[in-house]
Amino acid sequence: MSAPEVPDAHLSAPQGALVDRSPTRPVIQLERIVRTYQMGDVLVHALRGVSLRVDRGEFVAIMGQSGSGKSTMMNILGCLDVPNRGRYLLDGVDVSKLDEATLARARNRKIGFVFQSFNLIPRTSALSNVELPMAYAGVRPRERLKRAKAALEMVGLGSRMHHMPNELSGGQQQRAAVARAIATNPSLILADEPTGNLDTQSSDDVMSIFSRLNEQGRTVVLITHEQEIADYCRRTIRLRDGRIIHDSADPEAQPYTPAGARWTT
């Protein structure tokens, strides 16, 4: 069964927000993103002038060792964190121009999240877990039930949709999490180490679902430290010390460094 066809949720920007209405606009556009954290007396440079474009329908793996900045980048992409400098356009909208309510709607409607730890609600069926984001988005009960069932069928859980998370294997729980992420038909699926808690067979099953979703036109960006998982993706980006050191779409690209800046590593 194909992925559920869900009308694209509308995200409106307030007056003054930059909106690219071109049909070829990127889903993700990072422009010279800088993110620093103060940890005691130490200033940590998590991202150091990162620029990145991800077009609609791409399948991207972000790789890097601990401390490379990949989690910070994912948090910014998911509108869970904001940069100190630079600009992030999500589906053509400058997220820095959005108020908190609109930003929350953007996270709910434009982004589908898949986490390493599944984040399913215990004692709530797989079906109800998948319905929940649509309830927050204001989708009517009959419509969200239809979408949730279609999403669970798509990931191979049609016969287990009424089971509780503790009645599902790890791989099945992650597939339920993928169904939850796609049920709102988001512009972007963000997956943070989606196979980190899975065995080899379950990892292959989940990545096969991501591959199929991508083949259907969905944009998928995932974090992984495993090369065999990154090999499923069509593009690989490697981070080190807050900089992009390799992008398979542009192997010779050099990281942006502001004039006169001196980074410590």
Residue 172 CB contacts under 8 Å (≥ 6 apart), including other chains: 157, 160
CATH assignment of 28-247, among 3.40.50.300, 3.40.50.620, 3.30.540.10, 3.40.190.10: 3.40.50.300
Question: Mean pLDDT per segment of 10 residues, for the chain of length 265 residues?
Answer: 36 34 77 94 94 96 94 95 96 92 88 93 96 90 96 95 96 96 92 94 95 94 95 96 92 44 34
The number of angstroms, rounded, from the C-alpha of 136 to the middle of its chain's C-alpha atoms is 19
DSSP symbols for 130-180: HHHHHHHTT--HHHHHHHHHHHHHHTT-GGGTTS-GGGS-HHHHHHHHHHH
Would you state the pLDDT for residue 3?
A: 39
Would you state the pLDDT for residue 156?
A: 94
Question: How far apart are alpha carbons 87 and 91 in whole angstroms?
Answer: 13
pTM, to two decimals: 0.83
Q: Using alpha carbons, select from 101, 44, 53 the residue that is nearest to residue 77.
A: 53
Residue 138 CB contacts under 8 Å (≥ 6 apart), including other chains: none
